[in-house]
Amino acid sequence: MALGTPLAALEIANPLPTRSSGRVARPISLPRARPARSSRLSLFRDPSEGDMQRYLITDRRRLFRAGETFDENVARQRLVALARFAAERGIDYVQLREKDLSTRRLTAMAVAMVAALAGSRTRLLVNDRFDAALAAGAHGVHLTTRSLSAAVVRRCVPKDFLIAVSTHNRAEIAEAEGFADFAACGPVFPSGDKPVLGLAAFAALARATSLPLFALGGVTDDNARLAVEAGAIGFAAIRAFAELFSLEQGASASGLPARAPG
């Protein structure tokens, strides 16, 4: 590809070779659903759940408690601490999803989080901006439905660079097949005011694709394994991970053991 070629022009280039998405393996034997646990955050906390991958998505404003004044410097420190938390918990992926940050600040934040993850198995993806991800030495990018397509980005990044995509239907999944490594799909369960995809529809999408899917939206301890039985390789979440992080940080500061609300 010539360096001067506009990226948008690549959308109408010659057909692109597809690639295998085998780096994220789908479980061979799906487990039966377990009874509800006493702590609704135990699956988010427990790294021993080896058959269920976990995908933490950031929102720095959720790292501040009610009544606490938001401060960007503090937010930066907490995002770095969140990355360390993810590494310690054996969380598979972290998506830096801070859409309001400038490119420079986003890249600097990614650099700090990559450093915090050094030596761990946790991989950092940057939302939308593959240029910032590459500049920061992050492990990949998470593309939205408004981003460049996975096919275009795949041509611009190294072979081992991870590409994840947000999906809500069969057409969006099909567009990413052969180019993305995995997708977040949902909302599978009720979450906010967004239309719910539902477990049955998610299962149908999972059966129809070889692209590994994370269940996103309204995932709790009580329903996470239902999503895995439906074909998910694991779950993605924003609020639950932020809640657990804040809970454990507060307990650490007070010298008390962390205990999730149940």
| Stretch among 150-159, 182-191, 248-257 having the lowest mean pLDDT | 248-257
Residue 232, domain member (yes or no): yes
**How far apart are alpha carbons 55 and 57 in whole angstroms?**
6
pLDDT of res. 221:
86
Tens-digit pLDDT profile for residues 185-242: 999 999 888 899 999 999 999 999 999 999 999 999 889 999 999 999 999 999 999 9
pTM above 0.85, yes or no: no
Residue 54 lies in a domain: yes
Tell me the sheet residues that pair with 96: 126
- Could you tell me if residue 36 is inside a domain? no
Asked if residue 34 has pLDDT above 80, the reply is no
Q: Of the candidates 242, 197, 244, which has an alpha carbon nearest to the alpha carbon of residue 216?
A: 197
For the chain, the domain total comes to 1
Question: Which residue range is the domain that position 111 belongs to?
Answer: 43-254
Closest C-alpha to 55, from 169, 166, 201 = 166
Report the relative pairing of strands 162-167 and 234-237 from DSSP bridges: unpaired
Condensed to tens digits (0 to 9), the pLDDT of residues 41-88 reads 566 666 555 579 999 999 999 999 999 999 999 999 999 999 999 999
User: Considering the domain boundaries, does residue 250 fall inside one?
Assistant: yes
Q: CATH number of the domain at 139, please.
A: 3.20.20.70
Tokens describing residue 152: 């275009």
| 259 located within any domain | no
Q: Is the peptide bond before 187 cis (omega within 30 degrees of 0)?
A: yes
